[in-house]
Amino acid sequence: MQVIAEGISHVYGPLPVLEGVDLRVREGEVLAVIGPSGCGKSTLLSILGGLLRPTEGRVLLQGKAPDGCLNPLTFVFQDFALLPWRSVAGNVALVLEHHRLSPREREARVQEALARTGLEDFAAALPKQLSGGMRQRVGIARALAVQPAVLLLDEPLSALDAQTRELLMEDFEALWMREKTTAVYVTHNLSEALRLADRVAVFSRRPGRLKEVVEIPIARGKRANPQAQAELVALHERLWGLIRLEAQSAVSELEDG
Amino acid sequence: MAEALQELRFRGGGFAPGRKRWAALVFFVLLIGLWQMAGTRGWVSPLFLPSPAAIASALYAEAIQGNLWTHLVASLQRVALGWLVGTLAGLALGLAMGLFTLARSVGVPLVSAFFPIPKIALLPLFILWFGIGEASKLVTIGMGVFFPTVVAAYSGVDAVPRNLVRMAQSFGVPYYAIIWKIVLPGAMATIVAGFRITVSMALILVVAAEMIGAEYGLGAFIISAGHLMMTDRLLGGVVCLSILGLLAGVAITLLERRLLHWR
Ligand SMILES: Nc1ncnc2c1ncn2[C@@H]1O[C@H](COP(=O)(O)OP(=O)(O)OP(=O)(O)O)[C@@H](O)[C@H]1O
Ligand SMILES: [Mg+2]
């Protein structure tokens, strides 16, 4: 399934946040979205997922969701958004309960999602008993349980410490090697984008405009190879060049204001 | 030459009060012992402050030959019914105010205007409207319970993290399921905390209402003992009220453990 943003602009009251964003998320790709803090990345993702109505423009979907998909556009949240009164399995089950599934299939989906995120042994645990990394795994398991067509991830790792982030990045890599789930991955971390994305959409500072979309022409599985390093360094330089000025002026704007 | 060694001074203690059950027990035993001694030694007149033993024996006498149970049951029924009706109505309006613009726009000024009125002041009016019987007492208790419940319910709904609601919406969870599975459990802590306030409110109002006009009820029991200067019976009634309040508190704690075990 493809997601197409057409001429998206958004204002919060008097504050323009996004301006004329045209963007196509291609079937099977991981599209990273980077840009300075406050440039409207989360706003864009909410619009893409139908949680926020843009002031201008529209979002189109093209193609069918795969069989078994219960929720084509599925979020993974930065703050995990887990129900503290439900167990791990209960949090995953929440998003299946309103679908017509046999109890057996529901249970199977929960179990499979937990198995894929390494949470089998924690099915009965409450969120407060888990570390941040495990909590985000629950968020990912919940998203996988509905077999999404497009994953919308809003800085899914930024609430985690560096080591946990590394581990979960490996999980994401493995996920996207196994199956080509289309994804939009918002981050302000360049190396996350370079590890996980097929393309990187770079946004200007607020009001966010799409500056450039940079391809990463190296297969995800080969990015750790020594031969790929020179190219990755060059890509890093290029992306950093694109966002550096934006980030700088965003910071000084805050200091002035 | 080496410098002299000095042990680091600890400075992190205090500001962490704990609880010791024995301390409470010892204190109460001492207090009651002292009170009893004041009575038997004749430090205070038994008419003004009867000793604990005198209160206990008066209560015992009332329980086996008097009408204590009738009074107790009458009060309990009023409290239970009035509390239940006030709570259900309060939850309905409070939840509506937490969810709908119209209910909130109408409800907030309404609650602000009526909340501060001591509900007992309305009893004479309710007696005119509903007669001196049960209805006026129940309405008074219900009103006293209603407004704090409204406030607890709608501030509880307000305190439900919006990101959880948005999460559910993003997974297509239907509206009523969001209320049932997210808004209600999320507001439950505040609602149950409100029960503590409304239960004591109901106890205050039942006694006050019964003092004004009732044949049976702890309030009537206490006021008639007062008129007869039977302070031992009077304080016996007060002890019953204190026990009722304690039991209600225990019940709410159990409810909290059950509903909010995840905290
Ligand atoms: N509901 C809202 N009402 C008003 N202003 C908002 C709202 N949500 C976001 N904003 C503002 O809009 C701007 C863009 O916010 P947004 O969260 O989309 O940025 P972002 O790129 O995701 O930032 P970050 O990197 O900090 O996550 C910010 O200045 C923010 O303060
Ligand atoms: Mg954001």
Give per-residue pLDDT as tens, A227-237. 999 999 999 99
Distant-in-sequence, close-in-space partners of B253: CB < 8 Å, separation ≥ 6: none
| Residue B239, domain member (yes or no) | yes
Tokens 């994401």, located at residue: A172
Determine the residue type at A29. E
Contact residues of B toward A, CB < 8 A: 163-164, 166-174, 177, 181-182, 185, 260, 262-263
* Protein residue with its CA nearest to atom 30 in ligand 1: A38
Give per-residue pLDDT as tens, A80-109. 999 999 999 999 999 999 999 999 999 999
Residue B165: closest CA among chain A residues belongs to which residue? A81
Contact A110, A101 (CB under 8 A): no
pLDDT of residue A255: 55
* Protein residue with its CA nearest to atom 24 in ligand 1: A37
Minimum-distance ligand 1 atom for the alpha carbon of A45: 18
d(CA B156, CA B158): 5
Q: What region, left, alpha or beta, does residue B143 occupy, with left being phi > 0 and alpha being psi -120 to 50 degrees?
A: alpha
- Secondary structure class of B140 (helix, strand, coil): helix
Q: What region, left, alpha or beta, does residue A42 occupy, with left being phi > 0 and alpha being psi -120 to 50 degrees?
A: alpha
Domains of chain A: 2-78+85-256 (3.40.50.300)
Q: Consecutive sets of 10 residues in chain B, 263 residues long: mean pLDDT of each?
A: 87 88 92 93 90 94 91 96 97 97 95 93 94 94 97 96 97 97 96 96 96 92 95 95 95 94 88
pLDDT of residue A253: 65
Q: What value of ipTM does the predicted structure carry?
A: 0.93
Residues paired with residue A25 on neighbouring β-strands, in sequence order: A3
Ligand 1 neighbours by CB, cut-off 6 Å: A 12, 15, 17, 37-43, 188, 206
d(CA A216, CA B164): 35
Of B166, B173, B262, the CB nearest to A51: B166
How many structural domains compose chain B? Answer: 1
Give per-residue pLDDT as tens, A35-59. 988 899 999 999 999 999 999 999 9
pLDDT of residue B98: 96
pLDDT of residue A248: 77
Average pLDDT estimate for A157-181: 90
A256 exposure class (CB count in 10 Å sphere: 0-12, 13-18, 19+): exposed
Is there a contact between A84 and B262 if contact means CB atoms under 8 Å apart?
A: yes
Return the CATH number at B77. 1.10.3720.10
d(CA A224, CA B55): 84
> Rounded to 5 degrees, what angle do the CA atoms B157, B160, B162 make?
115
With a cut of 60, say whether residue A62 has pLDDT above it: yes
The beta-carbon contacts of A231-237 under 8 Å, at least 24 apart in sequence, are A232/A194, A235/A194, A236/A190, A236/A191, A236/A194
| Residue B184, domain member (yes or no) | yes
pLDDT of residue A17: 96
d(CA B73, CA B203): 13
Structure tokens at B33: 């012992």
Average pLDDT estimate for A226-250: 88
Q: How far is the CA of B201 from the centre of ligand 2 (A)?
A: 46
State the Cα torsion B166-B168-B173-B174 to the nearest 10°: -40
| Residue B40, domain member (yes or no) | no
The pTM of the full predicted model, rounded to 2 decimals, is 0.88
Report which secondary-structure segment, H or E, holds A211: strand A210-215
- To the nearest whole Å, the CA of B261 is away from the closest chain A CA by 8
| Residue B243, domain member (yes or no) | yes
| Residue B130, domain member (yes or no) | yes
> Where does the pLDDT of residue A257 fall: very low under 50, low under 70, confident under 90, or very high at 90 and above?
very low
**Chain A environment of B172 (Cβ under 8 Å):** 70-71, 95, 98
Mutate to test the interface with A, among B171, B256, B258 (most CBs of A within 10 A): B171
Please state the φ and ψ torsions of residue B130, each to the nearest 5 degrees.
Answer: -110, 0
d(CA B169, CA B162): 11
Structure tokens at A115: 């198995």
Is there a contact between B170 and A146 if contact means CB atoms under 8 Å apart?
A: no
| Residue B45, domain member (yes or no) | no
**Chain A environment of B165 (Cβ under 8 Å):** none
Radius of gyration of chain A (CA): 19
Strand order in the sheet with A2-12: A15-25, A2-12, A56-62
Domain of B227 in residue numbering reads as: 62-259
Please choose from A11, A21, A39, A211 the residue to mutate so as to test ligand 1's pocket, defined by most ligand atoms within 8 A of CB.
Answer: A39
Contact A121, A171 (CB under 8 A): no
- To the nearest whole Å, the CA of A168 is away from the closest chain B CA by 21
Average pLDDT estimate for A193-206: 94
pLDDT of residue B263: 86
Of B166, B169, B181, the CB nearest to A94: B181
